[in-house]
Amino acid sequence: MELPFSQACENNKAPILAVLQRHFTRPGHVLEIAGGTGQHAEHFAAAMPWLQWQSTDVPANVATLNLRLAAAALPNLPLAMPLDVTQADWGQHGIDYLFSANSLHIMPASAVVEFFRPLPDVLAPGAIVCVYGPFKYGGEFTTPSNAQFDLWLKERNPASGIRDVETVQALAAAAGLSLVEDNAMPANNQLLVWRRGNAA
């Protein structure tokens, strides 16, 4: 059985892990939104066995995602569950760490609002939220290639698009998150890190 694969994930999983290992330091439950191919879940769960890594994706993608997670057969990586951020109840509470990569520029802007809205109910006090992907700053793309990427996204789906970091930051703040770090990552991406409550 051929497993789902993304070359971008192969390229970015090591630099992302280096950041997560500085923040996901204690035993706890991770909720991954938009697990995709499962390469991140497999790599991060294997490297951080003190975490229980629960991956999720929209219902239509869960079976594909689970091909890889089942093959990985890691004790701290259960099969993925269906979760669309726009659903009324995520059915998740007391989450210590939330991770999502390359999802906010794929889902519509209205769904980005829904991504952050339930977090006060979903996250434990002091929880860490890490979101990886490209962002605009002050309305500007960080590179010409990100501007090209944005055009390509909108040709595929007019509702997709690289988000303004200020908009995302405002949604995070409204959900009670404090920005801890904005890490510049390879390939013109960022890894935003928030803490529920005060940043210190």
Ligand X SMILES: C[S@@+](CC[C@H](N)C(=O)[O-])C[C@H]1O[C@@H](n2cnc3c(N)ncnc32)[C@H](O)[C@@H]1O
Q: What is the largest CA-CA distance in the chain?
A: 46
Query: For tokens 């938009």, what's the residue?
Result: 34
* Least distance between ligand X and beta carbon 177 (Å): 18
* Least distance between ligand X and beta carbon 105 (Å): 8
Bridge partners for 164 per DSSP: 136
* Least distance between ligand X and beta carbon 85 (Å): 4
* Least distance between ligand X and beta carbon 148 (Å): 16
Instruction: State which residue, 86 or 169, has the beta carbon closest to ligand X.
Output: 86
Instruction: State which residue, 58 or 70, has the beta carbon closest to ligand X.
Output: 58
Q: For ligand X, which residue has the nearest CB?
A: 36
Binding-site ranges for ligand X (CB under 6 A): 6, 9, 33-37, 40, 57-58, 61, 84-86, 101-103, 106-107, 111
Instruction: State which residue, 178 or 185, has the beta carbon closest to ligand X.
Output: 185
Helix axis angle for 165-174 and 109-116, nearest 10°, is: 30
* Least distance between ligand X and beta carbon 107 (Å): 4
Instruction: State which residue, 35 or 161, has the beta carbon closest to ligand X.
Output: 35
Residue 196 to residues 69, 130, 172, 175, Cα–Cα distance (Å): 29, 11, 9, 8
Query: For tokens 């109840």, what's the residue?
Result: 89
Q: Which of 106, 138, 132 is nearest to 18 (CA)?
A: 132
Residue 195 to residues 124, 132, 136, 166, Cα–Cα distance (Å): 10, 15, 22, 17
Instruction: State which residue, 90 or 194, has the beta carbon closest to ligand X.
Output: 90
